Amino acid sequence: MRRLCLTLLLFTLCTGGCSLLQTNGDEQTKAASTEWRIASLEENFLNFKEDLRERESDFQRREKELLARMQDMSDRIETLSDEIKNLQAMRIPSVEVEETILTPGEVERGVVVGGAVSEEDRPWADVPGPKAPEPEAAKPTPPAPPPVAKPEPAPQRAAKPATSPAPEGKPQYEHALALLQAGKPTPARDAFNAFLKDHPKSSLVPNALYWVGETHYDQKDYAQAILSFKEVPRRFPKHPKAAAALLKTAMSYEQLGDKNNAEFYLRALLADYPDSDPARMAKTKLSGLTG
């Protein structure tokens, strides 16, 4: 009987211990899951704050540029207003010129210059050619009026075709592109970055940003390529290179094994630039990812 009681007691203790261990294991699993969720939420919140900070910084930069442009326009309007006032103050009053009437004798003696009679000889008084026969009358014949020379029309110059000025820093940009095409991504990237520093307002800046991303992609540095490619649609959403940059962003995510982000950027490309050439390639790649 004692052995039976001891056996039952040991069985009860073992069962209770196992239940307690199982309960502790479940609580630890739940705690670990909760901790992971909290860490994930904190990471998402930090990413959201960083994105919000970047947007606020970009908004402040654009606001400063807009205020600077408005101030520049205001200064120009004020300058034009001052010039108009100066022109109105510099109006030349009309001067009445007294007409001088010369007698025939005064005309015979000299040349009229500026309303007065000049005593200089008239070189055109003797007209070349055969002399007319003297008339029988005793009165001398008045000399023939001098011929009036017709001014020759000025030759018309052919209008030069209007040519648009070359983009700022184009030789430096073409040098960097030539390095990339020659298979030298690192020197090409340095040359493109130098161009972006020397000519930040050039119309070739979007192209240079795109090719910087291509240098990273060529070297399989896909994470850095993503950061470079994203700059193009973020800063220049209407530029033709924006569509190509979205495509290469999706391809870079695909190379990193992140199919969700790759699909996201392919769909963004199709939504924002449906008629672009990169959109056709995006449709093919999207069907491959989702198929």
Q: Nearest CA to 176 among 157, 190, 159, 162?
A: 190
pLDDT of 148 reads 53
* Contact in structure between 229 and 248 (CB atoms under 8 Å): yes
The CATH number fitting domain 205-290, selected from 1.10.3720.10, 2.60.120.330, 3.20.20.70, 1.25.40.10 = 1.25.40.10
Q: Which residues contact 143 (CB under 8 A, 6 or more apart)?
A: 125
What confidence score (pLDDT) does residue 104 get?
Answer: 43
* H-run or E-run covering 116: strand 116-118
Mean pLDDT, residues 197-211 taken together: 96
74-88 confidence digits (pLDDT tens): 888 888 777 787 766
Kindly tell me if the per-residue pLDDT of 114 is higher than 60.
no
118-169 per-position pLDDT tens digit: 343 333 333 344 444 454 555 555 555 555 555 555 555 655 555 678 889 9
Give me the residues paired with residue 112 across strands.
117
The 10s digit of each residue's pLDDT in 223-267 is 999 999 999 999 999 999 999 999 999 999 999 999 999 999 999
Predicted pLDDT at 261: 95
Choose the weakest-confidence range: 20-24, 34-38, 108-112.
108-112
The pLDDT of residue 59 is 85
Give CA torsion, residues 282, 285, 288, 291, to 10 deg. Answer: -20
More confident residue, 17 or 256: 256
Query: What's the pLDDT score for residue 123?
Result: 37
pLDDT confidence of residue 45:
81
Phi-psi region of 222 (alpha: psi -120 to 50; beta: other; left: phi over 0): alpha
Q: Which one-letter DSSP state was computed for residue 118?
A: E
Q: How confident is the model at residue 109 (pLDDT cuts 50, 70, 90)?
A: very low
Asked if pLDDT for residue 281 goes beyond 50, the answer is yes
Residue 91 confidence (pLDDT): 53
Give pTM, 2 decimals: 0.46
- Which of 240, 241, 242, 266 has its CA nearest to residue 252? 266
Whether residue 4 is predicted with pLDDT greater than 60 in this model: the reply is yes
Q: What band does 18 get if pLDDT is binned at 50, 70 and 90?
A: low
What integer is the mean pLDDT of 37-53?
81
How much is the pLDDT for 256?
Answer: 95
Express the helix, strand and coil content of the chain in percent, nearest 5 each: 65, 0, 30
CB 223 within 8 A of CB 253: no
Residue with the larger pLDDT of the pair 47 and 133: 47
State the pLDDT at residue 136. Answer: 52
The average confidence (pLDDT) of the chain is 76
d(CA 18, CA 25): 10
